[in-house]
Amino acid sequence: MYAPERRHSFSFEDYVEIAERAEQRLEYWEGAILDMTGGSPRHSAICSNITRILGVQLRGKPCRPFDSNLRVRSLRANRSTYADVTVVCGSLERDPADKTRQTVLNPSVLIEVLSPSTESDDRGSKLSSYKLIESVRVVVLVPQTSTGIILHTRGPDESWLVSTHVSGSVRLAAIDCELVLDEVYEDLPDEM
């Protein structure tokens, strides 16, 4: 006889405690704790390029880029993730529910490099949860199998404008930066 699968629902505080002891990176979504897959060398190189590009442009300004080790939480979506690149402007607003003080609540820009294994989530529920964070001005999706940048930009009326760019440069007005596509995709390994 088939027994129904039992699913335990974890609190965010339980998740933080488990995540701090885990050898692999874990995400949290509505009571579930999820394993994160590792990125390919190509994925990692694109992330490094973007972090470097933004780091140079933001030097001496009130915004700062962080790599994928910064945990971000969308309170309204009840989801905690690690974006590939996160830009926070001003002081870090730390989640009071995270006693380790490793989770921030106020990203301005979130960037995801799309992987075959995570693309549907990055374009779907994760994107939706990012858009529920009040401080987020722009969500950037970067394919690794083709050259391009998809911008989701919050408008003054709280609506979201989507634009796709396949050449040249992309302006991130919210942080007064520019991503040149040739630089984003510079010196990548051939294999995924």
Q: For residue range 72-88, list pLDDT tens digits in order.
A: 999 999 999 999 999 99
Question: 125-136: per-residue pLDDT in tens?
Answer: 999 999 999 999
Give the range of the structural domain holding residue 97, as residue numbers without chain letter: 39-184
pTM of the model: 0.90
Q: Identify the CATH number of the domain in which residue 108 sits.
A: 3.90.1570.10
Would 105 be classed as within a structural domain?
A: yes
In a domain, 22, yes or no: no
Within-domain flag for 141: yes
DSSP codes, the chain: -PPPPP-PPPPHHHHHHHHHH-SS-EEEETTEEEEPPPPPHHHHHHHHHHHHHHHHHHTTSSEEEE-TTSEEEETTTTEEE--SEEEEESS--B-TT-TT--EES-EEEEEEEE-TTTHHHHHTHHHHHHHTSTT--EEEEEESSSS-EEEEEE-TTS-EEEEEE-SSEEEEGGGTEEEEHHHHTTT--S--
In a domain, 135, yes or no: yes
Give tens-digit pLDDT for 92-138: 999 999 999 999 999 999 999 998 877 778 888 999 999 999 999 99
Share of the chain above pLDDT 90, in %: 73
Residue 74 located in a structural domain: yes
Q: How many domains does the chain have?
A: 1
User: Within a domain: residue 1?
Assistant: no
Tell me the percentage of the chain whose pLDDT exceeds 70.
95
